[in-house]
Amino acid sequence: MVKLIEQDVRETSDYLEKPLLDTRIMKVLSEVPRHEFVPIEIRNQAYQNRPLPIGYGQTISQPYIVAIMTDLIGPKAEHKALEIGTGSGYQAAVLSLLVDKVFSMEIVEPLGKQAQKRLIRLGYQNIETTIADGYHGWESNAPFDIIIVTAAASHIPPPLITQLKPGGKMIIPVGSRFMTQQLLLVEKNPEEKVTVRQILPVRFVPLTGEH
Ligand code: SAH
């Protein structure tokens, strides 16, 4: 799987502005057991470089996408991270090995509960999950060094910008739910000025909820 990710990274290096991802991230991707995060019937496909269905119309993201999103937000050991869209819990598990603490939010209750149980069973101890609409962020634990949104939004949710630390980064797919979206890297500089860089076209399940 790691070889397939590296190949995709090389092919998209113009977008990513580098030919290789951080070696720490590639190491973590080779360690997290992706087969534990997919339904038992399709475990044999777990190490293919593609998204897979996880029930409730949702998917576990393609490993290449998990890799580049994790790389682009530059996780550090002392960071506090927020993920919107727990899904299977795979992205949260990857991130948890690179930062101090991960908070992950899921709107589909059975998925969120299942992911929480799985993460506990697999021994990930620095991940806290909740069932809620991530559009509003998780105010009681804010601000965050890192925010990673794994569902496509029509716009960047303002509460997430508010909950980003000065010097923090957010990665989020933005665009129409029926077409490809753009992966955006949002940075808030120490003076709280926000800049947005467009990375590459992607396709995610939509960010749902009443917001
Ligand atoms: N990060 C996941 C990928 C999940 S797909 C993984 O590693 O497996 C996107 C997830 O976002 C879905 O589970 C979907 O139910 C969830 N989602 C959609 N809208 C949401 C919202 N408003 N708040 C929280 N989660 C949401």
d(CA 169, CA 166): 9
Q: What is the pLDDT of residues 37-56, one digit of tens each?
A: 999 999 999 999 999 999 99
Q: What is the pLDDT of residues 123-132, one digit of tens each?
A: 999 999 999 9
Q: What are the C-alpha distances in Å from 134 to residues 7, 34, 85, 164, 186?
A: 32, 24, 7, 14, 17
Q: What are the C-alpha distances in Å from 154 to residues 85, 99, 102, 131, 158?
A: 15, 28, 24, 21, 12
* Ligand 1 center–CA 204 separation, angstroms: 9
Percent over 70 (pLDDT), the chain? 100
**Which of 37, 64, 104, 108 for mutating ligand 1's site (highest number of atoms within 8 Å of CB)?**
108
Q: What is the pLDDT of residues 131-150, one digit of tens each?
A: 999 999 999 999 999 999 99
* Ligand 1 center–CA 24 separation, angstroms: 25
Give residue limits of the domains in the chain.
2-202
Percent over 90 (pLDDT), the chain? 96
Name all residues whose Cβ lies below 6 A of ligand 1.
Answer: 58-61, 84-85, 87-88, 90-91, 105-108, 111, 133-135, 150-151, 205, 207-209
Tokens matching residue 67: 């890799």
166 touches 191 (CB < 8 A) = yes
Q: Residues near 50 by Cβ (< 8 Å), separated by ≥ 6?
A: 62
Residue 31 has pLDDT above 90, yes or no: yes
- CATH superfamily of the domain spanning 2-202: Vaccinia Virus protein VP39 (3.40.50.150)
pTM score above 0.85: yes
Q: What is the pLDDT of residue 176?
A: 87
Q: What are the C-alpha distances in Å from 96 to residues 70, 77, 90?
A: 11, 9, 10
H-assigned helices in 78-141: 90-96, 109-121
Residue 177 has pLDDT above 90, yes or no: no
What is the chain's mean pLDDT, rounded? 96
Residue 174 has pLDDT above 90, yes or no: yes
Q: What is the pLDDT of residues 181-196, one digit of tens each?
A: 999 999 999 999 999 9
Best CA proximity match to 17, nearest among 84, 81, 75, 68: 68
User: Residue 104 catalytic?
Assistant: no
d(CA 57, CA 85): 13
150 touches 83 (CB < 8 A) = yes
52 touches 59 (CB < 8 A) = yes
Q: What is the pLDDT of residue 116?
A: 98
> Closest Cα to atom 4, ligand 1: which residue?
87
Question: Which atom in ligand 1 lies closest to the alpha carbon of residue 134?
Answer: 23
d(CA 177, CA 179): 6
* Ligand 1 center–CA 104 separation, angstroms: 9
Q: What is the pLDDT of residue 178?
A: 78
Residue 210 has pLDDT above 90, yes or no: no
Q: What is the pLDDT of residue 146?
A: 98
Q: What is the pLDDT of residue 64?
A: 97
> Closest Cα to atom 15, ligand 1: which residue?
108
pLDDT-derived band at 179, boundaries 50, 70, 90: confident
* Ligand 1 center–CA 191 separation, angstroms: 31
Q: What is the pLDDT of residues 65-113, one digit of tens each?
A: 999 999 999 999 999 999 999 999 999 999 999 999 999 999 999 999 9
Q: Which of 30, 61, 96, 176 is catalytic?
A: 61
